[in-house]
């Protein structure tokens, strides 16, 4: 039970961090990119790219921290 609780808490912390990063991206990065390249960057494309990027970061962090189990 203790290991399961640790995993849930770890996922919750990662989700919180991803939410903060997403909010900062929405407020600062996306408007700057949209002003520079208005034709290429629509809200939907940027939202999809941001989601894909954050998911890759979260999964990479999780894979690095958990590592392979040696049995």
pLDDT digits (tens, 9 = 90+) for 53-62: 888 888 888 8
Q: Examine the pLDDT at 41 and tell me if it is beyond 70.
A: no
Answer whether 14's CB lies under 8 Å from 61's CB. Answer: yes
State mean pLDDT over 12-17: 82
What value does the mean pLDDT take over residues 9-17?
A: 81
The predicted pLDDT at position 5 comes to 80
The CA distance from 23 to 54, in Å, is: 12
Q: Are 41 and 34 in contact (CB under 8 A)?
A: yes
Q: Does residue 33 carry a pLDDT above 80?
A: no
- pTM assigned to the model: 0.49
């Amino acid at each position: 039970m203790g290991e399961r609780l640790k995993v849930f808490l770890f996922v919750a912390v990662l989700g919180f961090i991803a939410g903060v990063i997403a909010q900062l991206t929405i407020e600062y990065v996306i408007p700057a990119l949209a002003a520079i390249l208005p034709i290429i960057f629509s809200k939907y494309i940027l939202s999809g790219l941001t989601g894909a990027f954050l998911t890759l970061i979260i999964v990479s962090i999780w894979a690095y921290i958990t590592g392979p189990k040696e049995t």
